A = this chain, B = another copy of it.
């Protein structure tokens, strides 16, 4: 659990010995490529810390096409935050896009953990602050840029990621067809 412990220590001031208390609350889960950890329509009882690999979040449109709405790379948390803990079905599917290692925290274990180690409230407060800040900027980008500019911005900010993720999935995330993305990529950068 070194990846998670390091991540916590990056965000809050906590003793290493206190972090040793964490282990029983988390489940270590190893996924192959294309394994589903949360399925659309399934009650959402877990959230996921990516120690290694990458998760894709999507929903299926009425025409059957998978619409990617998010990715979670190393050291990101993801889940259907609305469904988590409400005992309602998830609106999204979460699936690995490459071999992935997770630390999984269930609703019940989160409750127990926060009672045993209240400093973790501070950690989750920080994490969600950062996630929400990123989503404010994402909404801004969606209003501010044309589709082509959106891709260029994204490629400039996350060059390694653009290489790593399948192109049809990246196109879906940016709201393009794969053909349109391929056209943009062939054009010289303005």
Q: A residues within 8 Å of B by Cβ?
A: 59, 61, 67, 69-70, 80-82, 84, 91-92, 114, 118, 121-122, 124-125, 128-129, 131-140, 142-144, 175
Contacts and interface: CB of A to CB of B under 8 A. Distances in A.
Nearest to A139: B69
Given A125-B124, A128-B125, A135 B143 contact: no
Nearest to A12: B121
Contacts of A67: 143-144
List the number of copies, as a whole number.
Answer: 2
Contact of A91 (B70, B132, B140): B140
Contact of A125 (B125, B133, B134, B143): B125
Contact of A61 (B59, B142, B144): B144
A122 B114 contact: yes
Contacts of A131: 128, 132
